Amino acid sequence: MHVLNMGQFPNRDSIEKVLRDCQTRVPIPRLMPASKRGSVHVLAFEPSTRTRISFQTAARNLGLEVESVAGAEATSLVKKEPLSDALLTHAIYGADIICVRTPYEGGPLFAAEWLQQVPFLKKIGQKTTIMNMGDGTNEHPTQCFLDLLTIQERLGRLDDFTIGIVGDLKYGRTSHSLVRALSHFNNIRFALISPDEARMPQQFLHGLNIIYQGDDMRQLNQCDVIYATRPQLERIKDQIERQRLEWFLRITMEVLSRLKPDVHILHPRPSVHEIDPAIKLDPHFAADDQTYNGLKSRMYWILQALEDFTELTWEVPFAQPILDSQTSGADASEKRGKYFRPITGDEVGVVIDHLPVTVKRGVLDMLAYYGCLTDVVKTTTDPVNTSRLPEEYDGKKAVILLRNRVISDDVVAQICYAVPTASVGLFRGDGNRCKVTTCAVPPMVYFFKCPNSDCITNNDLNAKSRFYTRDNGNALSCRYCQTTFDRKRVIRFAA
């Protein structure tokens, strides 16, 4: 049981089960026996007050041992140790649960996958659950459950209300997890209020009934619930953007007087200028309820991890690509010796032809990643008639030749996806050549670099990128940071 992001809760039933169990199954802290049942390591590699303390308190309430690290400065992360190696160390020392906060998006997910592969942990029979305490600007799932508990307690329901989510919706991870969860409930109207530069990223808007998106604060007046968030100034590099966001939101008694009389104002905290001190003492303000519910949410997840190691299924199933190919007799003989000795029909090998010169390096990198590059590789750059080819060919094409090598359909699919104008000739030593020029969009793409510099794949040397293809292959969505990019933005090969 790993708690990594809200994609693990794909419908309202899975969310409501957690909320029910938080209210009924989490024991009252005072009644817990103090037996040692396991250990929880709480690692806050970004500042944290409530999440860190609530996980520690939750673990102690349940009679568990607690190890705690506050700040990356005291760890080898400052020496650029990969996060996954750091968490592995905690697992080897017996952490049953690692709660981790990291500035890198997708860090907990990647580390969880990494730990599952480490043979040494299998050898010593160590199973370690990873809990995401906030991964960069991406998500904060255990916060989401305490937010939902609070809305449910205050409003008496999780359907049919208007929620104004206001503040920094771009970098504020708590709002991302919250909208993902609420998208599964009925008749919720979302007013997303932020300056233009702090809008909620596209990938979180799926399935929402958005009644307003913009910077008009008066939209709050129609809301039953307000979820106010802090400007994440530490994540914003642009000075003007910072200034605009810093003072964008300020909820005062005067603002409150214009809101619905039974409105509930939530805030994940820490709150800075956006909540006036007088509001903090007003019964409409629900942040203390949220803080208290943090204990329920975290005790619940610790119990879950101890009792049940079954994995939540949320993988996109991997389907084999369908190749659209034609088989023909080898026609390379007439070119024999012209540029370099091509592969002939009775040999085994691969000819990747019609590559724009700029992508040659990237395709070689990809082949190396798949372990397909062995000793005998030849590449050439030929002048070519480009009348039928896009302009990036610039009068030249590159050819890659792999001798004595077969490549799998999956690798072929990835090449065709990345470079639709390329053709791949597969020689299998049977006198025939199978030539592939197009193929179905592969469901998963592995070899590109994620354009998000804060993605774990760009910050952990053990990590490799993986993307799900979306929108018929026109978009790619990073498995780790969850960001969706235009295909062309990702497919940028080194020249």
388 Cβ neighbours under 8 A, 6+ residues apart = none
- Let me know if 129 is exposed, middle or buried by CB neighbors in 10 A (0-12, 13-18, 19+): buried
Q: Is 381 a catalytic residue?
A: no
Contacts 24+ apart (CB under 8 A), 469-478: 469/417, 469/441, 469/442, 469/443, 469/444, 469/445, 472/441, 473/417, 473/441, 476/445, 476/448, 477/203, 478/106, 478/450, 478/452
Q: How far apart are CA 377 and CA 405, in angstroms?
A: 10
Token reading at 420: 């639709």
Least Cβ distance, residue 169 to ligand NCD (angstroms): 12
Residue 425 binds ligand NCD (CB under 6 A): no
Catalytic residue among 101, 173, 176, 403: 101
Q: Does 269 bind ligand NCD (CB under 6 A)?
A: yes
Q: Is 268 in the site for ligand NCD (CB under 6 A)?
A: yes
3-state DSSP assignment of residue 466: coil
Is position 102 an interface residue for ligand NCD (rule: CB under 6 A)? Answer: no
* # residues contacting ligand NCD (CB under 6 A): 12
Give which of 121, 133, 55 is closest to 94, Cα–Cα. 121
Instruction: For strands 97-102 and 65-70, give the pairing.
Output: unpaired
Rank residues 227 and 417 by Cβ distance to ligand NCD and give the closer one. 227
Quote the CA–CA distance of 138 and 481 in Å, as a whole number.
6
Nearer to ligand NCD, 134 or 349 (CB): 134
Contact 51, 42 (CB under 8 A): no
Is the CB of 51 or the CB of 129 nearer to ligand NCD? Answer: 51
| Contact window for ligand NCD (CB under 6 A) among 56-64, 264-272, 278-286, 327-335 | 264-272
Residue 107 engages ligand NCD in binding (rule: CB under 6 A) = no
Residue pair 225/162 in contact by the 8 Å Cβ criterion:
yes
Which region, judged by CB under 6 A, interacts with ligand NCD, from 179-187, 215-223, 252-260, 262-270?
262-270
Nearest alpha-carbon partner for 84 in 450, 457, 460: 460
Annotated active-site residue in 2, 52, 90, 140: 140
Could you tell me which residues are beta bridge partners of residue 397? 382
The residue from 2, 50, 90, 354 that contacts ligand NCD (CB under 6 A) is 50
Site for ligand NCD in 432-491 (CB under 6 A): none
492 catalytic residue (yes or no): no
Pick the piece of the chain touching ligand NCD (CB under 6 A) from 166-174, 209-217, 353-361, 448-456: 166-174
Identified catalytic residue from 30, 36, 80, 123: 80
Q: Which one of the listed residues 41, 50, 230, 269 is annotated catalytic?
A: 50
The distance of closest approach from Cβ of residue 193 to ligand NCD in the complex, given in angstroms and rounded to an integer, is 16
Q: What is the CA radius of gyration of the chain?
A: 27
Nearer to ligand NCD, 51 or 477 (CB): 51
Shortest Å distance, C-beta 185 to ligand NCD: 22
Examine the residue annotation and report whether 174 is marked as an active-site residue of this protein.
Answer: no
Q: Respond yes or no on whether the N-terminal peptide bond of residue 270 is cis (omega within 30° of 0).
A: yes
Q: Which of 167, 168, 173 is nearest to 48 (CA)?
A: 173
Residue nearer to ligand NCD on the CB measure, 173 or 487: 173
Please identify which residue in 90, 154, 184, 230 interacts with ligand NCD, judged by CB under 6 A: 230
Q: What angle do CA 95, 26, 63 make, to 5 degrees?
A: 40
Shortest separation between residue 186's beta carbon and ligand NCD, angstroms: 27
Pick between residue 160 and residue 234 the one whose CB is nearest to ligand NCD. Answer: 234
The stretch near ligand NCD (CB under 6 A) out of 18-26, 172-180, 423-431, 459-467 is 172-180
Q: Which amino acid is at 444?
A: M
Is there a catalytic annotation at residue 50?
yes
- Decide if residue 296 touches ligand NCD (CB under 6 A): no
Contact pattern for ligand NCD over residues 173 through 192, marking x by CB under 6 A = xx------------------
Query: Tokens 């799900």 — which residue?
Result: 468
- Tell which one of 51, 150, 482, 484 touches ligand NCD (CB under 6 A): 51
Counts for the chain of helices (H) and strands (E), in that order: 14, 19
The interface mask with ligand NCD, positions 108-147, x = CB under 6 A, is: --------------------------x-----x--x----
Would residue 199 be called left, alpha or beta, if left means φ above 0 and alpha means ψ between -120 and 50 degrees? Answer: beta
Distance CA 413, CA 403 (A): 19
Cβ at position 136, least distance to ligand NCD in Å: 10
Reference 438, options 458, 455, 454, 422; nearest CA is 422
Is residue 51 part of the annotated active site? The answer reads yes
User: 163 or 363, CB closer to ligand NCD?
Assistant: 163
- The token pair that represents 225 in the structure block: 């619930």
- Stretch of 90-98, 168-176, 400-408, 415-423 lying at the interface with ligand NCD (CB under 6 A): 168-176
Tell me which stretch binds ligand NCD (CB under 6 A): 171-179, 197-205, 332-340, 343-351: 171-179
Q: Looking at the annotation, which residues are catalytic?
A: 50-51, 80, 101, 140
Give residues in contact with ligand NCD (CB under 6 A): 50-51, 134, 140, 143, 172-174, 230, 268-270
